[in-house]
Structure 1
Amino acid sequence: MQRRKFIQSVGMATGFGLVNESQALVPQKPLVFLFQGDSITDGNRGRNLDPNHIMGHGYAYSVASRIGADFPDKGFTFYNRGISGNKITDLQKRWESDTLALKPDVLSVLIGINDVNAIINNAPEATSLEKFEGIYRTLLEDCRRANSEILFVLGIPFVYAVGKRAQNWEQWRDLTQARQEVVRKLAGEFDAVVVDYPAVLDKAMHQTPAEYWIWDGIHPTVFAHELMAREWLKQVRKRLRFLKKY
């Protein structure tokens, strides 16, 4: 009963009726936000309970800091479980402890670029596109079984021809684009919010060199993390309507 009140209040368009604006601004339960992924999400986060470093220094930190500061009375919880270098198979290995056990209401995932890197470097643990999609789908299915009303926020992976990524650029581009399409496909299957990070970064690069935003072709600068956080909030507020102020 309590969870149904939450869904009705935030106005998530997943088969539940939309509510009026005053209701939509007040979530009826303390939400758990979880950010999962690789180094871009990790952001050099702390590995203990020190609240000064626990969210890292990337887009996940920026999102959590804004929501937490603007809704201090709601009892929201924020977790960052990104781990540098992770591929989809690494997420699979730790999914039970680092995702399901945390019982997220909002699960944000950004993964894929290390899977591309593994293929380019002929790493023995490299996975095919089909396996990437299959594992990703299974992870989301596991979460949906645990919480039928979970909101997925799927980030589109990206790469740019900067630094070492300029070498074998066509391969980097094509392999990444293929995984971008997988993420979009899965977002449709799971009624997820899509955060199109490359679209935002592409637009920013029209006037400013790519190196200003993505210093090595993969990792965002502090400025790009800010753009990512803004886009995350812009897209998620469409489903969690109490975030409309963003």
Structure 2
Amino acid sequence: MRTGIYLFAFILLLSTAFISKPTRVVFFGDSITQAGVNPGGYIDMLKKTLPADQFELIGAGIGGNKIYDLYLRMEDDVLAKKPDVVVIWVGVNDVWHKASSGTGTDPDKFVRFYEAVIKKLQANNIRVVLCTPAAIGEKTDMTNQQDGDLNQYSAFIRDLATRYNLPLVDLRKAFQEYDLKNNPENKDRGVLTTDRVHLNEKGNQFVADQMKAVLTAGK
């Protein structure tokens, strides 16, 4: 009888050892990510479409954050959660705040802080996914005030993804292509955003689809 109990306990222990835990994903960013966990947000949408036994999704977004804010709060807000994957989506405020409040991030500092975030995460054996900033205005004729800077900072992120061989969710490219097809009136908002930056319902679904494609690649 006792032998049978021991054998059952051993089999149970052995079986649980082979049960894989869900991949813990932290979305690290600014107010767009902060809103992403709300009902109808892109993270909320992902939670409803990705299997819960395969993915655990956590939001770590704070409004107004720039790349150096992410670097400074990485220990408490990301590393302490022991993620398997971190999705970095930042850059809008680094560009936008140059015009709105004069407190953006210079190009060289943006790249250096971004690279430091990547290295810190990789040093903790975390898989890293990069995202380009999507939009500061949805006009399709390149007359949004920050189009030039946003394209430049997106290019920096693409280069980092190439140099570090990291998956990239190129939201800048995806948004531009979508707006070209779906914004014939050349509106500055209302297609994928509510206010030129933050996502409306279609925008959240669009981002969720882009994120899902990368997160499930190879699954």
Using the size of structure 2 for normalisation, the TM-score is 0.79
8 Å CA contact 1:31, 1:105 repeated in 2: yes
Query: Rg bigger for which structure?
Result: 2
Q: 1:115 aligns to what?
A: 94
Within-5 A mapping of 1:1-246: 28-43=20-35, 45=37, 57-67=40-50, 70=51, 72-74=52-54, 76-123=55-102, 125-147=103-125, 150-161=126-137, 169-170=144-145, 172-209=146-183, 211-238=190-217, 241-242=218-219
Write the distance in 1 (CA, Å) between the matches of 2:206 and 2:99: 28
- Name the amino acid aligned to 1:39: S
Identity %: 26
- Stretches of structure 2 that go unaligned for 5 or more consecutive residues are 1-17
CA RMSD of aligned residues (A): 2.5
Using the size of structure 1 for normalisation, the TM-score is 0.71
8 Å CA contact 2:122, 2:128 repeated in 1: no
Q: Say if 1:32 and 1:161 are closer, same or farther in 2 by CA, change over 3 A.
A: closer
8 Å CA contact 1:214, 1:221 repeated in 2: yes
- Name the amino acid aligned to 1:38: D
Q: Say if 1:159 and 1:30 are closer, same or farther in 2 by CA, change over 3 A.
A: closer
Shift of residue 232, structure 1, vs aligned partner: 1.2
Shift of residue 119, structure 1, vs aligned partner: 1.5
Residues 86-111 of structure 1 deviation map (CA, whole Å, 9 limit, x = unaligned): 11121122111011111211111110
Q: Which runs of 4+ in 1 moved over 6 A?
A: none
- Name the amino acid aligned to 2:26: L
- Name the amino acid aligned to 1:65: K
Write the distance in 2 (CA, Å) between the matches of 1:205 and 1:121: 24
